[in-house]
A and B are shown apart, each in its own frame.
Chain A
Amino acid sequence: MIKVLPRNIFRFVFLVLLQVMVLNNIQFSGYINPYMYVLFILLLPFETPKWLVLVLSFILGLSVDMFCDTLGIHASASVFMAFLRPFVLRAISPRDGFETGTYPRVSFYGVVWFLKYSLLLVFSHHLFLFVIEVFKFDNLHLILWRTALSTIFTVFLIIISQFVMFRK
């Protein structure tokens, strides 16, 4: 339990820096951009109080916003995603619930579970993000297209990172 806090602080800083220094410079064909910083929210322990997840996501989004000069956009999308997290977790929980002492990671619950988990949440985050970015609903199919492509890209990076960082 004591190790959880510094690890998460480190992850927070690392992911924000990775996002603003590297990933924001990756833009395929103008609008496909991975937003991998949401991995922080995905990897928070199951036992984290729900309100804390919301607050942490808000701070996370705000930090990314600070670098992107898009004040509030990432924050609102992250908060939205954090809000959905408990519902998604409940919907895809194993039959006898999550065991104590485990974390939402590939190494505990398998690739398929993690893929489902990250796809649902990342898609909702990206959809919210792109909608609030244009702030109107015309050109909906462009928004969906951007969301779909960026989601695939982000989830791909997230899954890869799981295998790189948490090898057994």
Chain B
Amino acid sequence: MRSLIDFIYKYHYFILFILLECLSVFLVIQYNNYQHSSFINSSNNVSGNVYNSLYGVTQYFELKAKNDELVNKLVSYHNQNKKAYKSNNVTLSELYDSIYIQQFEHVEANVINNSVNKQNNYLTLNRGLKHGVSKGMAVVSQYGVVGIVKDVSENYASVISILNQNLKISAMVKKNNYFGTLQWEGGSYQYTTLYDLPNHISLQKGDTIITSGYSAVFPKGELLGIVNKVQQRDGGEFLYVQVKFTEDFKKLTNVFVVKNLLKDEQIALERSSLND
């Protein structure tokens, strides 16, 4: 007996280690077998309270996402509502007059998916092939240009938003007709940049920027934005122009898809002269 006590005393450290280790491993195995059967888990009082108060803080970071989620949910309920079902008959107003030929046709559409916070944003419309929408058409709204149709399915169209770094739009200063290229730099969804305007022209904050109509996609004179900031680039020949969108892309709902009936003709002509 005495030697046993001596033994335990001598090796108490090692024995305690083995005991605690066995206990831990026992807990692991036991816990894995009977999930949550023990009281030492994250749902008990102590850890539950800690996590709860932590959530009290972190939930504020998620408020925006939660809000968006709620709005999305709301939209989906609205879409289930009877009012959401529209007739597929789209009336196109046509003018019959021999001195006018119609160049642009408008199809109204609703934005059913939209983003503004990515580096390359896209949106989805509830109009497709069935309603006369096809690839390459312009999308505009009451307050400005929205984008260009990228893909169409039977009932839906996917649109490259103007808030997409891959989209360049030929733009023009309304008061003096100088033209440049409008391209989004990423970042804020309220501002875009107008490139290629020469240094010598007079441009002030508040000047209106419109589409030039050169590209055969957009009609001439569609609103793009208002000049917000003009900077002379040191040593450069071109101005740096920051343009504020007139459209608020965060709350975009109703848009028009614009079909240029003479687009093919213009492109064919331009291509043939390029080949020369």
Cα distance, A71 to B25, chains bound together (Å): 9
Do residues B20 and A58 form an inter-chain contact, with CB atoms below 8 A?
yes
Complex Cα distance, B28 from A79, in Å, reads 14
Shortest distance between the CB of A6 and any CB in chain B (Å):
20
Contact for B25 among A20, A51, A55, A132, CB less than 8 A: A132
Q: Are A71 and B41 in contact (CB under 8 A)?
A: yes
Take A17-B50, A21-B50, A66-B41 as given contacts and tell me if A76 and B28 are in contact as well, using a CB distance cutoff of 8 Å. Answer: yes
Give residues 44-72 of B contacting A (CB, 8 Å). Answer: 44, 46-47, 50-51, 54
Closest B residue to A84 by beta carbon equals B17
Docked pose: A16 CA to B42 CA in angstroms: 13
Distance in angstroms from B248 CB to nearest chain A CB is: 34
Interface code A62-92, partner B: CB below 8 Å = 1, 0 otherwise? Answer: 1001111101110110011011001000000
User: Are B27 and A72 interface neighbours, CB within 8 A?
Assistant: yes
Query: In this assembly, does B16 line the interface, its C-beta being within 8 Å of a C-beta of chain A?
Result: yes
Q: A21-B54, A66-B40, A71-B40 are in contact. Are A80 and B47 (CB under 8 A)?
A: no
Question: Closest residue to A49 on the B side, CB-wise?
Answer: B13
> Count of A residues near B, CB < 8 Å?
27
Q: How large is the interface on B (under 10, 10 to 19, 20 to 34, 35 or more residues)?
A: 20 to 34
Main secondary structure of the interface of A (DSSP, over half): helix
B93 at the interface (CB under 8 A from A): no
Q: Which residues of B contact A66 (CB under 8 A)?
A: 40-42, 44, 46-47
CA distance A86 to B12 in the complex (A): 14
| From B16, B26, B28, B31, contact of A54 by CB (8 A) | B16
Contacts of A116 in B (CB 8 A): none
Main secondary structure of the interface of B (DSSP, over half): helix
Q: List the B residue with the shortest CB-CB distance to A51.
A: B16
What separation, in Å, do the CA atoms of A46 and B30 have in the docked complex? 35
- Min distance, Cβ B10 to any Cβ of chain A, angstroms: 13
- Once the chains are docked, how many angstroms separate the CA of A17 from the CA of B50? 9
A residues within 8 A CB of B12?
51
Q: Is B21 an interface residue (CB 8 A)?
A: yes
Docked-complex contact B17 and A76, CB < 8 angstroms = no
**Contacts of A72 on B, CB cut-off 8 Å?**
23-31
CB distance from A73 to the nearest CB of B (A): 6
A51 x B13 contact (CB < 8 A): yes
A75 to B21, CA, bound (A): 8
- Cβ of B87 under 8 Å from chain A: no
New A-B pairs, 10, CB < 8 Å, besides A20-B47, A55-B16, A83-B17: A17-B50, A58-B24, A66-B47, A67-B42, A72-B24, A79-B24, A82-B17, A83-B21, A86-B13, A132-B25
A-B contacts, 10 listed (Cβ < 8 Å): A50-B13, A51-B16, A55-B16, A61-B24, A68-B42, A71-B27, A71-B41, A72-B30, A73-B28, A76-B25
The 4 closest A-B pairs by CB, nearest first: A72-B27, A76-B24, A72-B28, A71-B31
**Partner-B contacts on A (CB < 8 A):** 17, 20-21, 50-51, 54-55, 58, 61-62, 65-69, 71-73, 75-76, 79-80, 82-83, 86, 132, 135
